[in-house]
């Protein structure tokens, strides 16, 4: 096996060099080759002094990015699979970059975003020092099936290897159970009382106690299934958190964590959780409060998530909203229901089901909470693409008046239907693969506003 | 009229709740009863016109079998009485003889229908489905870890026209017996299939057009055409 590992390392390093010459460094193929030659490559490759894993359904890219930035600010050289390759070959490619040809570490740290479904194949092999689990929620059903399945896979990974600090979201009743009977589990929580959440969800991520199937009672309900909870019958309840955000102010971008004021990196609750998990890591890693405060002033969320441009008092957003990912999409819809001002939405969440690389089902449309978009200040919702008739029906069933819905055959046509009068904000909700497209569409819409409102 | 939804908090993992929500939209005068895990199903003791149960996780499936096992005879009586029962996704498996997992371990089910199920959590099956029931073209989505196998006495629901049947070796799918209907199609079956929904509403003697009928039929027609032209029903890559 050792010989195979050496062959894999040399072959993959040569391939990396070729890719570098062709300016294509962010490709998994060298990692894939390494694992093909030596299936245990991840086990044998030397690791930097610090390995941080980030997994969970939502927020792992944001959290991993924050942690990589923090470590860089702390003077570390960091390897990070920031190109979205979060399975075995991506991890191998990332770790190839942290060792030399003699398998000696050349970087101080590796930050690895880990796909939660395939985690039993990766976590026990590269044995991170810290593992952050953001949450377990409903996602694309093709790979992730359902929350019990994802939980089972992560639990399996931790049953093989758990000798690390596991940082868990105490407000996520699906994933916090991963800390049960683990030696080094710590939790974070947001305790600012937001009142009783009266929102109804089509398909919550957890509806009954996972131990006894009785009803869950929320003491403090943030969104979807996130909040402080206990079972109406048995002992199941949210664990006590070591890191607690007791207050936050989105407008002022400030928050209080464990009695210290910090800059809040986001204007929404789900990114407040992402930031808090990064904070928990910093504390566990041993950074001082002063350094944490300083670093938080100098980092931001990855730019592909949310971007806003302002023109003549109108705000134009591109907003990542993962299609098929029920929990992420619903959280964005819920957030939009709280946004003030006259809004127009353009949805680039279309799955081109007629094409070769088409995606899966329309089941997610009915798990997701489009009902949140039925707000008087959301003046028009425009959808384009192959599923336009499915969207039309879905939005009507969500109770949205027909005169506010425009569904057209192609995404390109959507800009034509944006109206420019008395609008404060335009949101373009886009999938991961449509970042560039959303920005191009925003330019067209902004031009239209500029021409028609002059 | 009364429609009972069995264990909606457990049995709603793939958008199956859309089925009864669409029925609610169409039947504003009907009483919908949502039976939770700690309650006795109402159709056991009261006159219920239709019962629905949707998809669930494997863990929930084991618990649901345990819950319903107590009422096995009453469920059989309800089905024999000709009342409507609709089961979508893997809920159909609980009415069979047993579920066998990849290790060979068997979980006994209700044994109401002569079918058995083999499950393998390492194999994900995702596909489109095109079938026929009487003169109705049926479309839908499949997503499952398991397939079921017919015994001698079980009659299928659909003839398969595209995609996979009850298992990969049969061109039949689901179970239809009197007014008990079960299919592996999951999610919004009744929204995707307006003609099937009409059939159920007619059986209930309450059909008076469908809510958003025009839009539902337009979406159905487009997808039906897409599936009739399709050769590979496997569902493709998603990042």
Q: CATH 3.90.190.20 occupies which residues in chain A?
A: 306-452
CB contact under 8 A, A393 and B58: no
Q: Using the beta-carbon criterion (under 8 Å), do B14 and A363 form an inter-chain contact?
A: yes
Confidence (pLDDT) at A95:
95
Chain A positions touching B60 (Cβ under 8 A) are 148, 213
DSSP notation for A387-438: THHHHHHHHHHTT--GGGEEEESSGGGGGGG---TT--EEEEEE-GGGHHHH
A145: nearest CB among B124, B188, B191: B124
Q: Which residues of chain A lie closer than 8 angstroms to B58, CB-CB?
A: 148-149
A399, closest residue in chain B (CA to CA):
B25
Closest approach of A204 to chain B, Cα-based (Å) = 9
Contact B238 A359 (CB under 8 A): yes
For testing the chain B interface, which of A393, A400, A407 should be mutated: the one with the most B CBs within 10 Å? A393
Nearest CA in chain A to B89: A363
Largest Cα–Cα distance in chain B? Answer: 50
Res A68: pLDDT: 97
Interface-testing mutation among A361, A365, A408, with chain B (most B C-beta atoms within 10 A) = A361
DSSP state of A413: G
Q: How far is CA A376 from CA A24, A66, A250, in A?
A: 48, 36, 23
B236: number of Cβ within 10 Å? 16
The upper half-sphere exposure of residue A313, i.e. CA atoms within 13 Å in the direction of its Cβ, equals 9
Pairs of residues, one from chain A and one from chain B, whose beta carbons lie less than 8 Å apart: 124
Q: Where in chain A is the domain with CATH 3.40.1190.10?
A: 45-297
Residues in chain B: 239
Look at residue A83 in the predicted model and tell me its pLDDT.
Answer: 78
Please enumerate residues of A whose Cβ is less than 8 A from a Cβ of B. 84, 138, 140-143, 145-149, 202-203, 207-208, 213-215, 324, 351, 353-367, 389-390, 392-393, 396-397, 432-433
Nearest to B59 by CA among A149, A154, A56, A145: A149
Pairing of strands B158-162, B172-173: antiparallel
- Give the residue-averaged pLDDT of A346-351: 84
**Is residue A29 pLDDT above 50, yes or no?**
yes
**Contact present, A370 and B200 (Cβ < 8 Å):** no
pLDDT at A141: 87
pLDDT at site B237: 45
Chain B residues close to A393, C-beta within 8 Å: 191, 212, 215-216, 219
For residue A360, give the chain B residue with the closest CA. B235
In chain A, what residues touch B21 (CB-CB under 8 Å)?
Answer: 202, 397
CA distance B100 to chain A (A): 17
User: What are the helix (H) ranges across chain B?
Assistant: 17-26, 58-69, 72-80, 189-192, 194-203, 213-229
Task: Name the residue among B57, B215, B223 with its Cβ closest to that of A392.
Answer: B215
pLDDT at B36: 93
Q: Quick one: fold of A45-297?
A: 3.40.1190
- Check pLDDT > 60 for residue A360: no
Output the pLDDT for position A1.
57
B21 reaches A (C-beta below 8 A): yes
pLDDT exceeds cutoff 50 at B238:
no
Tokens 């003791």, residue located: B45
Give the closest of B57, B126, B192 to A146, CB-based: B57
Q: Which of A28, A90, A145, A217 to mutate to test the interface with B (most CBs of B within 10 A)?
A: A145
Per-residue pLDDT, averaged over A38-62, amounts to 95
pLDDT, tens digit (0-9, with 9 covering 90-100), for A282-325:
999 999 999 999 999 999 887 667 889 999 999 999 998 888 88
ipTM for this prediction: 0.96
**Section B225-238 average pLDDT:** 78
**pLDDT at residue A227 above 70?**
yes
Q: Which of residues 56-115 of B touch A (CB under 8 A)?
A: 57-60, 63
Across the interface, whether the CB atoms of B188 and A366 are under 8 A apart is answered yes
pLDDT at B239 over 70: no
Q: Which alpha helices (H) appear in A78-212, and where do they start and end?
A: 88-96, 119-126, 141-144, 147-160
- The architecture of the domain spanning A306-452 is Alpha-Beta Complex (3.90)
Domains in chain B and their CATH numbers? 2-99+106-229 (3.40.50.880)
Q: What's the pLDDT band for B136 if we cut at 50, 70, 90?
A: very high
Distance CA A427, CA A406 (A): 15
Closest partner residue to A142 (CB to CB) among B188, B192, B238 is B238
Which range among A21-30, A366-375, A388-397, B188-197 shows the weakest confidence by mean pLDDT?
A21-30
Which pLDDT does position A304 carry in this prediction? 60
- pLDDT (average), residues A344-356: 73
What is the C-alpha to C-alpha distance for residues A394 and A388, in angstroms, rounded to an integer? 10
Q: What integer pLDDT is reported at residue A356 of this predicted model?
A: 46
Average pLDDT score over residue span A100-129? 95
- pLDDT in the model for residue A359: 53
Cβ distance B37 to A213 less than 8 Å, yes or no, reads yes
| Predicted structure pTM score | 0.93
């Amino acid at each position: 096996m050792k010989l195979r590992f050496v062959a894999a390392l040399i072959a993959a390093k040569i391939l990396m060099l070729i890719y570098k010459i062709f300016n294509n460094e962010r490709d998994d193929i060298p990692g894939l080759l390494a694992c093909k030659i030596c299936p245990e490559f991840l086990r044998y490759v030397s690791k930097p002094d610090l390995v941080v894993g980030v997994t969970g359904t939502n927020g792992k890219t944001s959290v991993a990015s924050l942690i990589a930035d923090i470590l860089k600010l702390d003077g570390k050289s960091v390897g990070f699979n920031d190109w979205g390759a979060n399975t075995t070959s991506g991890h191998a490619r990332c770790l190839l970059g942290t060792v030399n040809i003699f398998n000696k570490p050349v970087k101080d740290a590796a930050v690895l975003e880990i796909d939660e479904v395939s985690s039993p194949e990766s976590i026990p092999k590269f044995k991170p020092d810290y593992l952050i689990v953001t949450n377990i929620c409903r996602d694309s059903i093709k790979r992730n099936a359902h929350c019990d399945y994802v939980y089972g896979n992560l639990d399996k990974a931790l049953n093989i290897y758990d000798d690390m600090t596991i940082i868990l979201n105490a407000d996520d009743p699906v994933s916090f159970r991963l800390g049960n009977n683990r030696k080094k589990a710590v939790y974070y929580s947001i305790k600012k009382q937001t009142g009783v959440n009266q929102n109804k969800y089509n398909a919550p991520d957890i509806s009954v106690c996972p131990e006894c199937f009785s009803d869950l009672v929320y003491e403090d309900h943030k969104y979807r299934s996130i909040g402080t909870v206990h079972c109406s019958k048995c002992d199941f309840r949210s664990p006590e958190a070591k890191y607690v955000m007791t207050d936050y102010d989105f407008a002022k971008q400030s928050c209080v964590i464990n009695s210290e004021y910090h800059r809040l990196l986001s204007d929404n609750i789900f990114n407040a959780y992402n930031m808090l998990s990064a904070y928990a890591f910093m504390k566990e890693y041993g950074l001082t409060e002063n350094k944490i405060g300083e670093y938080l002033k100098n980092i931001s969320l990855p730019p592909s998530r949310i971007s806003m441009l302002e023109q003549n008092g109108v705000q134009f957003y591109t907003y990542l909203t993962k299609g098929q990912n029920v929990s992420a999409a619903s959280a964005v819809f819920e957030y939009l229901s709280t946004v003030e001002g006259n809004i127009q939405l353009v949805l680039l969440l279309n799955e081109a089901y007629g094409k070769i690389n088409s995606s899966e089902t329309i089941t997610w449309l009915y798990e997701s909470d489009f009902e949140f978009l039925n707000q008087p200040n959301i003046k028009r919702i425009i959808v384009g693409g192959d599923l336009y008739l499915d969207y039309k029906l879905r939005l009507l069933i969500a109770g949205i008046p027909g005169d506010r819905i425009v569904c057209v055959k192609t995404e390109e046509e959507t800009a034509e239907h944006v109206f420019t009068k008395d609008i404060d904000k335009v949101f373009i909700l886009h999938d991961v693969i449509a970042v560039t497209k959303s920005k191009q569409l925003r330019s067209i819409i902004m031009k239209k506003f500029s021409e028609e409102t002059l | 009229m009364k429609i009972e939804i069995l264990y909606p908090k457990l049995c709603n993992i793939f958008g199956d709740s859309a089925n009864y929500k669409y029925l609610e939209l169409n039947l504003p005068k009907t009483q919908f009863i949502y039976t939770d895990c700690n309650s006795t199903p109402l159709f056991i003791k009261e006159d219920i016109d239709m019962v629905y149960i949707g998809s669930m996780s494997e863990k929930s499936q084991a618990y649901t079998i345990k819950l319903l096992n107590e009422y096995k005879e009453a469920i059989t009586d309800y089905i024999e009485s000709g009342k409507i029962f609709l089961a979508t996704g893997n809920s159909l498996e609980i009415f069979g003889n047993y579920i066998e997992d990849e290790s060979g371990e068997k979980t006994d089910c209700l044994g109401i229908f002569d079918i058995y199920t083999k499950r393998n959590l390492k194999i994900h099956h995702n596909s489109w489905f095109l079938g026929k029931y009487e003169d109705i073209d049926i479309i839908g989505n499949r997503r499952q870890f398991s397939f079921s196998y017919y015994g001698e006495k079980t009659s299928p629901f659909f003839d398969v026209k595209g995609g996979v049947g009850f298992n990969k070796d049969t061109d039949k799918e689901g179970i239809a017996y009197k007014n008990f209907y079960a299919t592996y199609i999951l999610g919004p079956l009744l929204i995707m299939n307006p003609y099937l929904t009409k059939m159920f509403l007619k059986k209930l003697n309450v059909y008076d057009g469908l809510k958003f009928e025009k839009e539902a039929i337009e979406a159905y027609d487009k997808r039906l055409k897409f599936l009739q032209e399709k050769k590979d029903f496997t569902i493709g890559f998603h990042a």
